[in-house]
Structure 1
Amino acid sequence: MPGASVWEKKSPKTATATDLDGVFTLPTKGRKSVTLEISYIGMKRAEVTWHGSDLTVVLEDDTNMLEDVVVTGYQVIDKRASTSA
C-alpha cells in the first residue's frame, strides 16, 4: 500500500511512509529487533516486531472506521458576481 504510515512504537518521531510498492526503510541504530506500528486509512492498525530480516505485513479492513463521511463547505461570493434571485 503506498502511503501507509510506519513508525517505531517506542519512538513515534522515527517514522516514514511506504513508497508506491509498499516498501519502507527506518534506521534501527544497531538494534536486532524493533516493534513497528503500521496504519493506513480504512485499515486496522498493525503492530509487528522486526528481527533483522525482510518482513511482510498484511493489514485488515476496518469497515467500522469509514461508516459516515461529512463534507462541509463555505464560500463567500461578491453580490455583484451572484446571479441568484
Structure 2
Amino acid sequence: MLQPVLTKNDKKARILIFTVSFVVFAAVVALGKYKIPMNDKFDVHIFARINAVINTLVSILLLAGLMLAKKGKFLQHKKIMITAMVLSVLFLVSYI
C-alpha cells in the first residue's frame, strides 16, 4: 500500500497550504490593481477556450482517478491525480 506524502495533521502540509493560498491571493489582489497593456490585435478570449479545455481534461482525469481507486490501482490513481493537479495549477496560472 502507498504511504501518503503528507498526513492530515502534518505541520508541513499546513504550512504548504497556507503559503500557496497566500501567494495566490496576493497575486490576484496585485494583478487587480494593474492594467497590463495589450496589443489590440491579440484576442484575449483565447484564454477562455484554453481554460475550458484544461478544466475538461481535469474533470476527465478526476473521474478516471476515482475509477482507478475503486479498482485498487493506487499507483495509477496517484499518477492521474498528480497530472490533474499539474493541469489545475496551469489553469490557475493562465487564469490569473
TM-score by length of 2: 0.20
Find the structure with the greater CA-based Rg. Answer: 1
More strand by share: 1
More helix by share: 2
Larger RCO, structures 1/2 (Cα 8 Å, 6+ apart):
2
